[in-house]
Structure formats: structure tokens, C-alpha cells
Structure 1
Amino acid sequence: MIQRIQTIYLLIAFIIMGILPFVFPLETSSAGQKTFAMDHMSDMILFGLSAALSLITIFLFKNRKLQFVLGRLNIILNLILLGLFVYHSLSLSGEVATSEKGIGMFLPIFSIVFLVLANKAIKKDEDLVKSVDRLR
């Protein structure tokens, strides 16, 4: 259902994790060579899984409990991706000149914010349905 705010949040999280990794680089070396998410297979798989999970969660609007669980699973997946980025940045292999981090490293943080907002809205809807059911 497009009129629900969590659908908009999940769609933004899908755009952040599905489209923006191809636009923004993860890092730029001192020679000016940009590294994108598609250059590392593990990063690309995690970005793809997160985008697919966001898209699947949008279409599960009738099952709010499963939608909430998938949102939390997506947050955990983004935290793993963020941890992988921190690991990559801290374990540079003998690079003499320092490389510059790109905005692509922060995409999981933006996605986590929108996923948390979506989960809050899903929880709010679930509480509203429970309160209406009590009145019947």
C-alpha cells in the first residue's frame, strides 16, 4: 500500500541500497582510481540482499509482523555491511599514500535510519490494529 509512510521509507532504503552503490564510490585511491561496490563481490552481494529484502518487505503489507521481522533482519544485514566497510578501511594492505573514503561507505547508515523509521511506523500500525480489535 503506497499510502502508508513505511512504504515510502522502505522504498528510500531500496533506492539507497540498490541504486546508489553504483553512483557513489566507496573510496578513492591517491592515484584517483575510484572503487565502487561492484568491485568487491562480498559488498555487492550484501548490497543486493539488503535491496531485495527492502523490496520484498514493501509487498508484505498484509503481514505486519513478518514485515517488522524482515525490517530488523535488514538492519542487521546493514550493520554487517557497515562492519565489513570498517574492516576494509582499517586493514589497508601496505598502501603508502592514504586513500580517501567516499560517501558509499555511509550508505548503510542512511539505510539503517530509514529502516528504523519504517519499523517504527509498522509497530505503530500494529498497535493501532490491536487497539481497534480490543474495542470489538
Structure 2
Amino acid sequence: MIQRVQTIFLFLVAVAMGLTISMDLWVQEIAASGESYSLSALFMNHTSASGEIISSDSTWYIAALAAFVGFLAIISIFQYRNRGRQMMFNMVNSLLMVGLVALVFLTTKGINSDLGLTESGSYKVGFWAILAAMVCNMLANRFIRKDEALVRSVDRIR
């Protein structure tokens, strides 16, 4: 039964991971020099006041983890016949998303400490999409548990 409510939530997790990969996660602007640092899932760019990229570092590991989380959510959609396995996939996905948030947070804090800045910058849509995906994953697990309880109650009646 692929047309269940948890399928929608798991699909939203995959969409949110797509947003995480394609949008900026964090931006730090230095007011004194006009330079800025921006973190996306693929690159960390240091931009001058005129808009030229001074340096660019790869952050492929963030994109890889986000892509794996999205892929795991898609796999979980098709595990509807085995609700226990589906819940296990979602629990692993939750742990990976917590790790993704921690990875982004530690990366941004490391940049701020290297620069000696007290301001933390601003988190953008890509970062908030990870948190939205965590909520959707939690709701999907809740509805999977409800389905499992319904099946067990029907089996008890027989």
C-alpha cells in the first residue's frame, strides 16, 4: 500500500534532501571588509566585496550524506510490506540527519573560530530543510507505528 500517509512524509524527506544539496546552508558576511563565506552542500566559497570568488573548498561529504539520506528515504517508501524494516530504515535515517546537522554546525563553527568572529552567520534554506526532513521522518515513523498497531489489533480479533 504505497498510498499511505507515511509515503508522503518519506517523499518530503527526499525532497528536503534535494533542497539541502541544491541550496546554500550558511552565509557569513564580514561587515568590515565586505567579504563573505558561504557554505553549500558541495562547496565552501570565500567571496570578496566585489563578488569574485577568492577561494573555494570542496564539501562533498555533506552532499554525499544528504544524498544517502534521500536515497534511504526512497528505499524506505518501498518497504511498506515489512513495517519493522521500514521503521529501522527511518531510525537509521534519523541518526544520519542528526549527524548531518552536527556536521554542518561543526563546519560553520570551525570557520568562525578560524576567522576569530563572534557572530555566527545566518543559516539558510538548505540547513532548515534538514530540520524539516527530520520532522517529516519522525511523522512517518509515527504513522508506520500506527499501522503496525492496527494490524496487530486486527490479528488479535481473529
Relative to the length of structure 1, the TM-score reads 0.89
**Displacement, 1:26?**
1.1
**More contact order relative to length (CA 8 Å, sep ≥ 6):** 1
**1:1-136 to 2 correspondence within 5 Å?**
1-17=1-17, 19-30=18-29, 31-32=35-36, 34-39=38-43, 40-92=59-111, 94-95=114-115, 99-136=121-158
Q: How many residues align?
A: 135
In 2: Cα distance, 1:95 partner to 1:102 partner: 20
For the Cα contact (< 8 Å) 1:2–1:8, is it kept in 2? Answer: no
Structure with greater proportional helix content: 1
Distance 1:16 1:53, change over 3 A: same
Please, which runs of 5 or more residues in structure 2 have no aligned partner?
30-34, 44-58
> Which amino acid in structure 2 is aligned with residue 87 of structure 1?
L
Secondary structure of the structure 2 residue equivalent to 1:60: coil
Q: Could you say which structure has the larger radius of gyration?
A: 2
Secondary structure of the structure 2 residue equivalent to 1:94: helix
Which segment drifts farther, 121-130 or 84-93? 84-93
> Which amino acid in structure 1 is aligned with residue 97 of structure 2?
N
Structure with greater proportional strand content: 2
Relative to the length of structure 2, the TM-score reads 0.78
Which segment drifts farther, 116-125 or 103-112? 103-112
In 2: Cα distance, 1:100 partner to 1:76 partner: 24
In 2: Cα distance, 1:129 partner to 1:81 partner: 34
> Which amino acid in structure 2 is aligned with residue 134 of structure 1?
R
RMSD (CA atoms): 1.7
Instruction: Give % identity.
Output: 30
In 1: Cα distance, 2:85 partner to 2:15 partner: 21
